[in-house]
């Protein structure tokens, strides 16, 4: 049984930083895992993805180099470090996982490419 549990969300002022965590159980190695976000009234959008065990990373253009996705294989955890945050980063952030290691920027454009989802963690950036 695969379970993804996010943590680390909260409220931060503009230009601040937060680090989100996604703890995976049931599987981890050589999978494509990603962070998506969804703001009120908007579609869910992919932010960053990583191949666990391999380390290749992929980013959506909207994060402009401010976000970094990383992993800790010993803890079966994927992280999203968010720096220089903007009010438009306010959203519910979701961890997502695929059943295989196929990964890339294209996969960030479609939620149906991911079979497993966490419950989400709220990030609010105030100006």
Q: How confident is the model at residue 54 (pLDDT cuts 50, 70, 90)?
A: confident
Tens digits of residue pLDDT in 8-41: 999 999 999 999 999 999 888 899 999 999 999 9
Give the residue among 47, 120, 50 at the shortest CA–CA distance from 88: 47
Any idea what the Cα angle at residue 24 is, between residues 79 and 124, rounded to 5°? 45
Query: How many whole angstroms from its chain centre is CA 5?
Result: 11
Query: How many whole angstroms from its chain centre is CA 13?
Result: 20
Can you tell me the distance from the alpha carbon of 79 to that of 34, in angstroms, rounded to the nearest whole number?
9
Tens digits of residue pLDDT in 79-124: 999 999 999 999 999 999 999 999 999 999 999 999 999 999 999 9
Q: What pLDDT, on a 0 to 100 scale, did the predictor assign at position 55?
A: 77
User: Which residues on adjacent β-strands are paired with residue 104?
Assistant: none
Does residue 123 or residue 2 have the better pLDDT?
A: 123
Instruction: Pull the structure tokens for residue 100.
Output: 């295989």
63 Cβ neighbours under 8 A, 6+ residues apart: 47, 48
Q: What pLDDT, on a 0 to 100 scale, did the predictor assign at position 12?
A: 97
């Amino acid at each position: 049984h695969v379970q993804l549990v996010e943590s680390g969300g909260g409220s931060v002022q503009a230009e601040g930083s937060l680090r989100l965590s996604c703890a995976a159980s049931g599987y981890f190695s050589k999978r494509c895992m990603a962070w998506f976000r969804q703001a009120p009234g908007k579609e869910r959008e992919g932010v960053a993805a990583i191949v666990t065990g391999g380390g290749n990373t992929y980013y959506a253009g909207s994060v402009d180099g401010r976000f970094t996705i990383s992993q800790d294989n010993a803890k079966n955890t994927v992280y999203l470090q968010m720096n220089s945050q903007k009010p438009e980063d306010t959203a519910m952030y979701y961890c997502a996982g695929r059943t295989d290691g196929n990964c890339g920027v294209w996969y960030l454009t479609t939620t149906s490419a991911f079979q497993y989802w966490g419950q989400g963690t709220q990030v609010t950036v105030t100006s």
